[in-house]
Amino acid sequence: MRTADPLPRVAGKVVLRRLAASDLAAFQAYRHDALLGQYQGWSAISDAEATAFLDEMNSAPLLEPGEWSQIGIATSDSQTLIGDIGLFLASDGRHAEIGFTLRRESQGRGVATTAVREAINLVFEHTAVERVLGITDARNLRSIRVLERVGMHKSDSRSVLFRGEPCLEYVYAVARGT
């Protein structure tokens, strides 16, 4: 099912595209927002580390079994980076996981819903994945709403340690063809 690089990908006012070194300022602006990062698996990093990460993701293969890849969410008019989506393809290729971050200034406008829906479509179109999972902290109500709006259903909940503290995670899933 592998084809040429499927990015960029336009969906209304949103573009999914490769991250680039030129995204450094925008990337660092939202990745250093402590409130935005409270439920995220990432932490703020230095400009040098961020530049190396952006360069790596610019050319990293997408949807490789056993690997995470990060793609940018940009505005379709200016191509300005406003967030990013992490995609992980399981080693056996049967399921994928999606995670997303959107700067606070762009939230509440349907952008995350559009971007996540398009990323799920990308996974189903370019892999044999049977299900895409979204895992979120039970307190992250905005993410829960996005996952539900894209057609995911809560399939599990589990108690975990996150940053050294107990929390409840919800696992959402959507199957191919639904």
Topology annotation, domain 9-129: Aminopeptidase (3.40.630)
Q: Indicate the average pLDDT of the chain.
A: 95
Element (DSSP H or E) covering residue 147: helix 141-149
Contact yes or no for 53/45 (Cβ under 8 A):
yes
Give pLDDT, residue 162: 85
Q: Which residues contact 90 (CB under 8 A, 6 or more apart)?
A: 65, 66, 96, 97, 129
pLDDT in tens, 90-135: 999 999 999 999 999 999 999 999 999 999 999 999 999 999 999 9
Assess whether pLDDT exceeds 50 at residue 1: no
Contact yes or no for 84/61 (Cβ under 8 A):
no
Measured CA distances, 16 to 13, 32, 72 (Å): 10, 21, 6
pLDDT in tens, 38-96: 999 899 999 999 999 999 999 999 999 999 999 999 999 999 999 999 999 999 999 99
pLDDT in tens, 57-66: 999 999 999 9
pTM more than 0.75 = yes
Assess whether pLDDT exceeds 90 at residue 4: no
- What residues does each domain of the chain span? 9-129
Give pLDDT, residue 178: 81
Assess whether pLDDT exceeds 80 at residue 139: yes
C-alpha span between 11 and 13 (Å, rounded): 6
SS (HEC) of 8-71: CEEECCEEEECCCHHHHHHHHHHHCCHHHHCCCCCCCCCHHHHHHHHHHHHHCCCCCECEEEEE
Give pLDDT, residue 126: 95
Token duo for residue 40: 């995220």
Contact yes or no for 113/157 (Cβ under 8 A):
no
The sheet with strand 165-175 has its strands ordered as: 9-11, 14-17, 67-75, 81-89, 95-102, 131-137, 165-175, 153-162
Assess whether pLDDT exceeds 80 at residue 12: yes
Give pLDDT, residue 3: 56
Count CB atoms within 10 A of the CB of residue 121.
16
